[in-house]
Chains A and B, each alone.
Chain A
Amino acid sequence: MRSVWEDSNRLLLSALTLLLTLGLCVIILAPLVQILAQSFFDAAHRFVFLDNFIDYLTHEKSLRLIRNSLFVALTSTLIVVPTAFGFAYALMRSRMPFKPFFRYISFLPLLAPSLLPAISFVYLFGHQGFFKPWMGGGTIYGAWGIVLGECFYVFPHIVMIFLSALSLSDARLYEAAQSMGASSLKKFFTITLPALKYALVSATLVSFTLVVTDFGVPKVIGGDFSVLATEIYKHVIGQQNFALGATVGILLLVPSVVTFLIDSLVQRKQKAVLGSKFVLYVPKKAPIFDTVMFIFALWVALFFLIVLGVAFFASFVKFWPYDLSLVLKHYDFSSMDGGGWDSYLNSLTLAFWSALLGTIAVFTTAYVVERGKVFPPLRAFLKLLALLPMAVPGLVLGLGYIFFFNHPHNPLNALYQTMGILVVCTVAHFFTASFITATTTIKQIDDEFEDVAESMGVACYETFFKVIVPIATPSILHIARYFFVNAMTTVSAVVFLYAPSTTLASVAVLNMDDAGDISSAAAMASLIVATSLGITLLFDALSHFALKQSQQWRKTR
């Protein structure tokens, strides 16, 4: 066998692989192991194995919580999946006008914390809601409010799944069906739907999990209707009962892990469906169908714009809904709970560092996993570590961070209650999606580049910076933007980890709403959306610029 020491490239790659594996173990695996271990001990630190779960699950109250969680998750999924499918179908298969506009609108919820739709619905239908007088005896606080809010929050994730699945269908299948005289309906049921079955499974699971693990919406609009996710928050923040928090956290982990496993199985099958080259499907003009789809998409878009717009508008209104004159006083956060403008600056700091360090960590990990050439088993393990965060709800990760980093014997204890731990946690939380983006990009780059460079005696890092990074620039920018926006909007993991000096804007929204100051909460949420939107536009411009710069060599013959 060749000695690693003789070969500086291999030496460097080996060191990097080891370093990254160790790093991901600390920021992902260790906190999870810690929370898992914690759930086997009682409040007096005695090992009780599954007793915590058995105790918990035999309580009438817990069963009600589980029922509640299941109810909102199933209902939201039943609404969101068909709607998102219709919307994606309209975008991909009709020739309705203003498609780019609709596409942008459907992604808007990604720019807002999940608290925002709940705030909007409170403004519309709450105690002082605009439509309150028309609601009879009904109330928005509770299950239906949560369902509405979750639909808004989950929608873009599901649309993306359907968009990518629909973009993969082969036009030749439709042409073949047409040549045999199949009707549109028959084509839909024999070609379109079967090709989408994996996407449907994925969409359903993802939607279900996102709703079960989200706590922003139920926190704001749930009223007395408690769900599992809000319960963890109450146990940990309200009662400082970490053991119980861990137990509920593990329960939340179950649907996520199941989703993750089924999804990765499904992804593998989906790959087998593809393989050969296919011809892109281009929809034909169909005036009636196009009009119907346009009207449908318009309603969906209107819903999104209203929900976003209400929070935004209300943040400038003097006293909703009685005095609609416009003022800026809600943006003066100085007298508010939650840290005021400082928390906004903290969020920017967090987003900046997460984007910077997260992008570097993700891209290097993806590169080492794909092209590392050393220690195949260790690289497979590294890949597993990188995919793991997808299966872990933010609340569970955050709780794990408390257990792991706050442990008195942990040398990393010093990180606790600093901006550092927030950055690390955010990077870990959003690792997987970016990792998949980076991996896909790297896979598309000819793997003979490294071989050629090596044969010429060029160091691997030189090829990495001179060739791989320039080719992958658009994807790297995409990853950085993803980290930035998510760091701005996330609440779930960081809510357990911030300190008085590191309050965050998204958490401030939560706390202001908690303190009853919904106008300021709306103002801060609007500020987050505006920032995310600004950053997205900035990165789009950067991406456009980068592509333009490299136009000469990127153009394909």
Chain B
Amino acid sequence: MSDTTALAIYNVSKRFEAFHALEAIHLEIKKGELVCFLGPSGCGKTTLLRIIAGLESCDEGEIVQYGKTVTHLPPSKRDYGIVFQSYALFPNLTVAKNIGYGLREKGMEKKETKKRVKELLALVGLSGSEEKYPSELSGGQQQRVAFARAIATKPSLLLLDEPLSALDARVREHLRQEIRELQKTLGITTIMVTHDQEEALSIADKIVVMNHGVIEQIGTPLEIYRHPKTLFVADFIGKINLLNALYRGENLFSVGKLSLVVHLDETSLPAEDQAAKLLIRPEDIKLYDAEAENIIEGIVLKMTFLGSFCRLFVSINGLLESVLLLDLPHKVLLRDAIREQSPIKLAIAPKDICYFLEPTYA
């Protein structure tokens, strides 16, 4: 591990009786990064966070924070701050006492504590709320207090366990940008657990996609979205069309009666007649224009209004079992008078098609 590594996790495993919660987790987090653990519920992301926090013990493996092994240290001997989904603000203590809760413990003077609390409240935009109780604050404000409390002791690591999921959509969107800005200002290494892919894609430096206790992929949001390494990641992040295909050679895959030209990936070249899954994002399917490749035709079965664009369900000629999803702006739909039952002509650029090869049993 290098000097810029804030946290390193080596081969961490955790079992709950017969259930493998985590298996051989390997992960390095750099200083100042915001990393999101993303995955469906039960994928082990919260367990991993709790192991990093020392609230749960791991059966195997090692955790190293700034060069110091912390695997078996109790939480109080580790250096981090944490925000929970429920915020866990002590209801009977005022905002000031909540934020100062750990400061007095660290031996800070009363006067200094007061100053630090004031400073933190200013930082999260809640100046003057010292004497309020948590129940007198809105959900978003409570979240800010929890955030202030977590960073009060200037920890080198901030852990956020689904901090936004209890809030309604608008507040959530606003607060996640705020968290991101604060995190950048403070330069604090942060791990955030979430099941909301949009949240992860919009603020993370790096996303760790997890499923069934293993890491499926680690990468920047763009890498994860554009170049998913596994079928699970492709399917979990965003909407995607999945098509069963066979490789026919010459960059051509056949899907039903169609053939599609695909840009081949040097690291995973298909053999002739090898089965594969083709992946196409809905926004990558365009309306046909003169210079297009991979032209396909079909009939619009259904249209769903989704605000800025419309999602179309198109049954493709020559493709019996699957329906393609694609997203088109309203203007285009109006211009071309596309409605349900309209025939439609589409095109897909070869570079926009990903593929996963099925293992061969030769």
Contacts and interface: CB of A to CB of B under 8 A. Distances in A.
Given A457-B106, A553-B92, A3 B75 contact: no
B135 A554 contact: yes
A348 B105 CA distance: 42
A60 interface: no
Interface string B149-171: 10001000000000000000000
Given A2-B57, A448-B84, A554-B135, A453 B72 contact: no
Interface stretch (A4-12, A181-189, A297-305, A401-409): A4-12
A223 interface: no
A456 interface: yes
A449 B105 CA distance: 16
Given A455-B53, A456-B101, A553-B135, A466 B93 contact: yes
A457 B73 CA distance: 12
Nearest to A550: B92
Contacts of A449: 88, 90
Given A1-B57, A7-B74, A457-B106, A452 B88 contact: yes
Given A7-B77, A457-B76, 13 more contacts: A2-B72, A451-B53, A451-B75, A453-B101, A467-B90, A467-B92, A467-B93, A552-B136, A553-B92, A553-B93, A554-B135, A555-B135, A557-B135
Contact of B84 (A452, A454, A457, A553): A452
A390 interface: no
Contacts of A466: 90, 93
Contact of B74 (A454, A470, A554): A454
27 contacts: A1-B57, A2-B72, A3-B72, A6-B77, A9-B74, A446-B86, A446-B88, A451-B55, A452-B82, A452-B84, A454-B54, A455-B54, A455-B55, A455-B76, A455-B78, A455-B102, A456-B149, A456-B153, A458-B76, A466-B90, A467-B92, A467-B93, A552-B136, A553-B92, A553-B93, A556-B135, A557-B138
A274 to B, nearest CB: 21
Interface string A431-447: 00000000000000010
A471 B90 CA distance: 9
Contacts of A467: 90, 92-93
Given A9-B74, A456-B105, A457-B102, A451 B135 contact: no
B133 interface: yes
Contacts of B53: 451, 455
Interface string A539-550: 000000000001
Nearest to B98: A452
A455 B83 CA distance: 10
B343 interface: no
Interface string B77-120: 11011101110101111000000011001100000000000000
Given A6-B73, A553-B134, A451 B101 contact: no
Contacts of A557: 135, 138
B75 A455 contact: yes
Give me the 4 closest cross-chain CB pairs, A-B, nearest first.
A456-B102, A7-B74, A448-B88, A457-B76
A446 B89 CA distance: 9
Given A9-B76, A457-B105, A451 B92 contact: no
Interface string B46-60: 000000011101000
B331 to A, nearest CB: 43
Contact of B133 (A454, A455, A457, A552): A552
Given A457-B105, A458-B105, A471 B92 contact: yes
Contacts of B81: 455-456
Contacts of A10: 74
Interface string A446-489: 10110111111110001000110011000000000000000000
B47 to A, nearest CB: 13
Interface of B: 53-55, 57, 72-78, 80-82, 84-86, 88, 90-93, 101-102, 105-106, 133-136, 138, 149, 153
A351 B55 CA distance: 41
Contacts of A455: 53-55, 75-76, 78, 80-82, 102
Q: Dominant SS at the B interface?
A: loop
A486 to B, nearest CB: 29
Contacts of A458: 76, 101-102, 105
B143 to A, nearest CB: 14
Interface of A: 1-3, 6-10, 446, 448-449, 451-458, 462, 466-467, 470-471, 550, 552-557
B191 to A, nearest CB: 13
Contacts of A454: 54-55, 74-76
B74 A2 contact: yes
Given A10-B74, A455-B80, A458-B105, A553 B55 contact: no
A118 to B, nearest CB: 46
Contacts of B74: 2, 6-7, 9-10, 454
B86 A448 contact: yes
Interface centre among A2, A10, A448, A452 (most CB of B within 10 A): A452
Nearest to B80: A455
B66 to A, nearest CB: 17
B63 to A, nearest CB: 12
A455 B82 CA distance: 7
A451 B84 contact: yes
A186 to B, nearest CB: 40
Contacts of B82: 451-452, 455
A167 B11 CA distance: 51
A552 B102 CA distance: 23
Contacts of B91: 471, 553-554
Nearest to A448: B88
A8 B75 CA distance: 11
B48 to A, nearest CB: 15
Contacts of A8: 76
Contacts of B106: 457
A449 B76 CA distance: 14
Contacts of A456: 76, 81, 101-102, 105, 149, 153
B80 to A, nearest CB: 6
A556 B139 CA distance: 12
Contacts of B133: 552-553
A169 to B, nearest CB: 28
Contacts of B73: 2, 6
Contacts of A6: 72-74, 77
A550 to B, nearest CB: 7
Interface centre among B72, B74, B82 (most CB of A within 10 A): B74
Contacts of B54: 454-455
A456 B93 CA distance: 16
A298 to B, nearest CB: 41
B317 to A, nearest CB: 47
Contacts of B88: 446, 448-449, 451-452
Interface centre among B57, B80, B92 (most CB of A within 10 A): B92
Nearest to A553: B133
B140 to A, nearest CB: 12
Contacts of B93: 466-467, 553
A462 B106 CA distance: 14
A1 B75 CA distance: 14
A446 B142 CA distance: 15
